[in-house]
Homo-oligomer: A and B are copies of this chain.
Amino acid sequence: MTEQQRRPTLMDVAQAAGVSRALVSIVMRGAPGAAEATRQKVLDAARELGYRPDSRARLLRSTRTKLLGLSFSTGHAFHAEIVDAAYAEASAKGYELALGGVTSGRPETQTIEALLDFGSEALILISPTLSSDELARYAGQVPVVSLLRNDVGELTDSVSSDDYEGIRMAVEHLVSLGHRRIVHVDGGTAVSAEPRRSAFRAEMGRRGLEPAIIAGGAMEEDGMTAGKSLGPDMPTAVIAFNDRSALGLIESLRAQGLKVPADVSVLGYDDSQFARLSYVQLSSISQDAPLLAAAAVDRAVARIEGTQPPGHVVRTPHLVARRTTAAPAAGG
Q: How many copies does the complex hold?
A: 2
Tell me, yes or no, whether A101 is within 8 Å of chain B by CB.
yes
Tell me, yes or no, whether A305 is within 8 Å of chain B by CB.
no
Q: In the docked arrangement, what's the CA distance between A172 and B35, Å?
A: 71
CB-based nearest B residue for A111: B87
Could you tell me if A221 and B277 are in contact, using CB atoms closer than 8 angstroms?
yes
Interface-centre pick from A59, A81, A104 (highest chain B CB count, 10 A): A59
Given A52-B116, A221-B278, A99-B100 contact (CB < 8 Å): yes
What distance in Å separates the Cβ of A236 from its nearest Cβ neighbour in chain B?
Answer: 22
Over the window 186-213 of chain A, the binary record of Cβ atoms lying under 8 Å from chain B Cβ atoms (1 yes, 0 no) is 0000000000000000000000000000
Chain B positions within 8 Å of A310 at CB level? 1-2
Q: When the two chains form the complex, which single residue of B87, B99, B119, B279 contacts A224, counting CB atoms closer than 8 Å? A: B279
What distance in Å separates the Cβ of A99 from its nearest Cβ neighbour in chain B?
Answer: 4
Over the window 244-258 of chain A, the binary record of Cβ atoms lying under 8 Å from chain B Cβ atoms (1 yes, 0 no) is 000010011001000
Interface members, chain A 48-104 (any B CB < 8 Å): 52, 54-57, 59-60, 65, 74-75, 77, 80-81, 83-84, 87-88, 91, 96-101, 103-104
Chain B positions within 8 Å of A56 at CB level? 56, 59-60, 65, 119
Could you tell me if A55 and B278 are in contact, using CB atoms closer than 8 angstroms?
no
Tell me, yes or no, whether A243 is within 8 Å of chain B by CB.
no
Q: Knowing that A3-B140, A77-B77 are A-B contacts, what are 13 other residue pairs whose CB atoms are under 8 Å apart, sorted by A's residue number?
A: A55-B117, A74-B81, A84-B103, A87-B101, A87-B105, A91-B106, A98-B118, A99-B99, A220-B278, A220-B279, A248-B277, A252-B279, A255-B279
Could you tell me if B139 and A2 are in contact, using CB atoms closer than 8 angstroms?
yes
Could you tell me if B155 and A2 are in contact, using CB atoms closer than 8 angstroms?
yes
What distance in Å separates the Cβ of A37 from its nearest Cβ neighbour in chain B?
Answer: 28
Chain B positions within 8 Å of A141 at CB level? 7
Given A77-B75, A277-B220, A278-B224, A105-B119 contact (CB < 8 Å): no
CB-based nearest B residue for A99: B99
CB-based nearest B residue for A155: B1
Interface-centre pick from A96, A99, A220, A310 (highest chain B CB count, 10 A): A99
Chain B positions within 8 Å of A215 at CB level? none
Q: When the two chains form the complex, which single residue of B65, B119, B140, B252 contacts A2, counting CB atoms closer than 8 Å? A: B140
Chain B positions within 8 Å of A3 at CB level? 140
